[in-house]
């Protein structure tokens, strides 16, 4: 009888201590796991990774997650895990990668090490609003990775006028920053992504980003089958800003057509106010306004067709758009070549200027200046059209601190990052799950428009065309601002399309 009992006990003990199966379960994705009563690490490893001896991977990767997200448990003793704790059970691939480097004589490998070194972030966000938005994301990053030194490597010049050339030299010279600002869309082509950039598809997968960005944005972000940047926002190019007090004092409402624009401009002029203010100092601002004039003259579909070859640049609509723009320029401040987009905005704040067309980073800028007396409307002809662009951050090949950069991209894509960044930046989230209550009235209106308007791509801000075409387009418009020669400008725009290989 005694023998029988001890045999029974041996069998029972075997049942407890020897894993029931070593057969690998089907490959699985990394997942969160809440500890249940009666769980222990090797049992979980056996169930999810097909091997009880893979438990160190669960412990190490859970501890790594805990560093940046305290909802994950910190496992100090492998034998002590408690019901309700959140663990991270890695994918087979992640577990194998860890175990290949794990040495059981070095228990320190089971505990996480925080990120160190630098994070060099390249962008052109130096103006009020945009600089503050960036700083909000830096704060979040620093909370998560307190030992990483952030280097804010900005090069001033709106729309990346100066930044892009500096970046290109650094990429080609094998001396890149760790991450840099990149517009979603064809701009990526400028940087020969296959040669100089790392695809970031794995970050989309690990952060679940495909589920939180709109489908159209994902399409814009994918180039040659890969994602090359993580978007932080959606900006609107076509906004007409006006000084509310000036408009009220003169009984004016924002113009919805080009004829109305002229009438409003005449009234402002008669009141001694500069009707239309702009800066052309950085060479892109006039091209920016003209893209909105093109959309407002041609309509959404024909505007889009300009960048795909479906609408010829010889179209009479383009002639009309140039005429419309010429009319608008006749009301502009004569010293525009001395101004940038933001210094031109000072006229509006001072009430010496009436209207201005610029992207909605202007909302962030006004807010940073404490100016609340601004109104907004779609520029003439663009009611129901949203000329869109998006800023993302990319990962160069051979980034000196690639791991830090990857963590930065995760912050960029996160809800926390986007909710902190965008209200200051004057943009709306690229994510669809941000809380509208965090945004001001203008941005809330932009969210509504984004959800219902016809979305067309901005050319000046990298979405619609490759960089060489953007440059040619910009140059033609710069010449036009000086000459007012409609026929020459139209021929130049047509030639730019031919040179881009899109028109015949």
The set of residues, in sequence order, having a beta carbon less than 8 Å from that of 342 and lying 6+ positions away, is 127, 128, 158, 279, 362, 365
Torsion angle of the four alpha carbons 93, 97, 103, 109, in this order, in degrees rounded to the nearest 10: -100
Q: How far is the CB of 158 from ligand GAL (least distance, A)?
A: 3
Q: How far is the CB of 426 from ligand GAL (least distance, A)?
A: 9
DSSP secondary structure letters along 446-476: HHHHHHHSEEEE-TTTTSSS-HHHHHHHHHH
Q: Pairing mode, if any, of strands 374-377 and 179-183?
A: unpaired
SS3 content of the chain, % helix, strand, coil (to 5): 50, 15, 35
The footprint of ligand GAL on residues 230-289 (CB under 6 A) is 235
Single out the residue of 241, 229, 186, 217 nearest to residue 469, CA to CA: 186
For 240, the 3-state DSSP assignment is strand
Give the C-alpha separation, 202 to 341, whole Å: 37
Contact flag: residue 361 with ligand GAL (CB under 6 A): yes
Q: How far is the CB of 437 from ligand GAL (least distance, A)?
A: 23
Q: How far is the CB of 319 from ligand GAL (least distance, A)?
A: 28
Could you tell me which residues are beta bridge partners of residue 309? none
Q: How far is the CB of 365 from ligand GAL (least distance, A)?
A: 9
Q: How far is the CB of 363 from ligand GAL (least distance, A)?
A: 11
- Near ligand GAL by CB under 6 A, which window of 51-59, 156-164, 401-409, 448-456? 156-164
Q: How far is the CB of 389 from ligand GAL (least distance, A)?
A: 5
Contact flag: residue 391 with ligand GAL (CB under 6 A): yes
Residue with smallest beta-carbon separation from ligand GAL: 158
To 5 degrees, how large is the angle CA 85–CA 96–CA 94?
A: 55
- Near ligand GAL by CB under 6 A, which window of 12-20, 152-160, 252-260, 304-312? 152-160
Could you tell me which residues are beta bridge partners of residue 391? 183
Q: How far is the CB of 408 from ligand GAL (least distance, A)?
A: 17
Contact flag: residue 461 with ligand GAL (CB under 6 A): yes
The footprint of ligand GAL on residues 170-199 (CB under 6 A) is 183
Contact flag: residue 133 with ligand GAL (CB under 6 A): no
At 139, list the tokens. Answer: 């704060």
For 233, the 3-state DSSP assignment is strand
Exactly one of 389, 409, 429, 470 binds ligand GAL (CB under 6 A); which one?
389
C-beta of 345 vs 359, nearer to ligand GAL: 359
C-beta of 288 vs 406, nearer to ligand GAL: 288
Say how far residue 13 (Cα) sits from the centre of its chain: 57
Exactly one of 124, 145, 191, 313 binds ligand GAL (CB under 6 A); which one?
124
- CB–CB of 446/233 below 8 Å? no
Length of the chain (residues): 504
The footprint of ligand GAL on residues 96-115 (CB under 6 A) is none
Residue 272: CB atoms within 10 Å: 7
Is 36 buried (19+), middle (13-18) or exposed (0-12) by CB count in 10 A?
Answer: exposed
Contact flag: residue 158 with ligand GAL (CB under 6 A): yes
Could you tell me which residues are beta bridge partners of residue 385? 454
C-beta of 232 vs 246, nearer to ligand GAL: 232
C-beta of 160 vs 275, nearer to ligand GAL: 160
Residue 406: CB atoms within 10 Å: 20
x/- mask, ligand GAL, residues 314-353, rule CB under 6 A, reads: ----------------------------------------
Q: How far is the CB of 409 from ligand GAL (least distance, A)?
A: 17
Angstrom distances, CA of residue 226 to CA of 180, 219, 222, 230: 17, 10, 5, 11
Q: How many residues bind ligand GAL (CB under 6 A)?
A: 13
Give the C-alpha separation, 471 to 143, whole Å: 40
- CB–CB of 50/23 below 8 Å? yes
C-beta of 144 vs 461, nearer to ligand GAL: 461
C-beta of 207 vs 391, nearer to ligand GAL: 391
Q: How far is the CB of 377 from ligand GAL (least distance, A)?
A: 20
Q: How far is the CB of 361 from ligand GAL (least distance, A)?
A: 4
x/- mask, ligand GAL, residues 431-460, rule CB under 6 A, reads: ------------------------------
- Near ligand GAL by CB under 6 A, which window of 3-11, 122-130, 213-221, 476-484? 122-130
Q: How far is the CB of 411 from ligand GAL (least distance, A)?
A: 17
C-beta of 98 vs 163, nearer to ligand GAL: 163
Single out the residue of 93, 8, 95 nearest to residue 44, CA to CA: 95
Give the C-alpha separation, 199 to 226, whole Å: 6
At 386, list the tokens. Answer: 């949203």
Single out the residue of 475, 478, 486, 479 nearest to residue 326, CA to CA: 486
C-beta of 349 vs 491, nearer to ligand GAL: 349
Residues forming the site for ligand GAL (CB under 6 A): 124-125, 130, 158-160, 183, 235, 359, 361, 389, 391, 461
């Amino acid at each position: 009888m005694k023998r029988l009992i001890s045999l029974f006990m041996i069998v029972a003990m075997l049942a407890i201590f020897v894993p029931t199966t070593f057969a690998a379960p089907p490959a699985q994705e990394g997942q969160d796991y809440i500890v249940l009563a009666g769980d222990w690490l090797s049992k979980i490893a056996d169930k999810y990774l097909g091997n009880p001896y893979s438990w160190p991977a669960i412990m190490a990767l859970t501890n790594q997650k805990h560093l940046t997200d305290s909802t994950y448990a910190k496992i100090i003793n492998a034998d002590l895990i408690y019901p309700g704790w959140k663990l991270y059970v890695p994918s087979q691939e992640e577990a194998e990668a860890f175990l290949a480097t794990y040495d059981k004589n070095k228990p320190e490998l089971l505990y996480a090490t925080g990120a160190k070194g630098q994070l060099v972030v390249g962008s052109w966000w130096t103006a009020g609003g945009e600089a503050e938005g960036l700083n909000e994301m830096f704060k979040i990053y620093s909370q998560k990775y307190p030992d990483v030194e952030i280097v804010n490597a900005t090069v001033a010049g709106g729309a990346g006028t100066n930044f892009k050339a500096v970046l290109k030299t650094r990429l080609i010279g094998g001396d890149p920053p760790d991450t840099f600002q990149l517009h979603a869309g064809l701009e990526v082509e400028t940087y020969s992504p296959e040669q100089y950039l790392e695809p970031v598809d794995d970050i989309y997968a690990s952060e679940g980003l495909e589920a939180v960005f709109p489908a159209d944005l994902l399409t814009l972000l994918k180039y040659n089958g890969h994602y090359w940047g993580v978007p932080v926002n959606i900006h609107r190019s076509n906004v007409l800003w006006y000084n509310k007090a000036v408009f009220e004092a003169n009984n004016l409402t924002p113009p919805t057509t080009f004829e109305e624009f002229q009438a409003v401009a005449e009234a402002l002029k008669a009141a001694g106010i500069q009707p239309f203010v702009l800066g052309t100092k950085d060479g892109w601002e006039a091209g920016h306004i003209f893209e909105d004039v093109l959309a407002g003259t041609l309509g959404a579909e024909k505007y889009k067709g300009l960048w795909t070859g479906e609408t010829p640049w010889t179209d009479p609509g383009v002639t009309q758009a140039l005429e419309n723009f010429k009319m608008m320029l006749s009301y502009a401040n004569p010293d525009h070549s001395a101004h940038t987009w933001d210094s031109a905005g000072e006229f509006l704040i001072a009430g010496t200027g009436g209207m201005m067309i610029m992207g909605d980073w202007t909302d962030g800028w006004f807010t940073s200046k404490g100016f609340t007396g601004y109104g907004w409307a779609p520029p003439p002809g663009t009611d129901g059209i949203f000329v869109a662009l998006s800023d993302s951050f990319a990962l160069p090949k051979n980034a000196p601190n690639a791991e830090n950069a990857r963590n930065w991209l995760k912050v960029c894509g996160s809800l926390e990052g986007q909710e902190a960044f965008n209200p200051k930046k004057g943009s709306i989230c690229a994510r669809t799950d941000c809380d509208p209550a965090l945004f001001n009235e203008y941005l809330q209106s932009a969210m509504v428009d984004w959800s219902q308007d016809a979305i067309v791509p901005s050319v000046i801000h990298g979405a619609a065309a490759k960089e060489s075409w953007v440059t040619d387009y910009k140059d033609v418009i710069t010449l036009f601002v000086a000459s007012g020669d409609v026929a020459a400008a139209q021929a130049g725009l047509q030639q730019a399309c031919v040179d881009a290989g899109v028109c015949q």
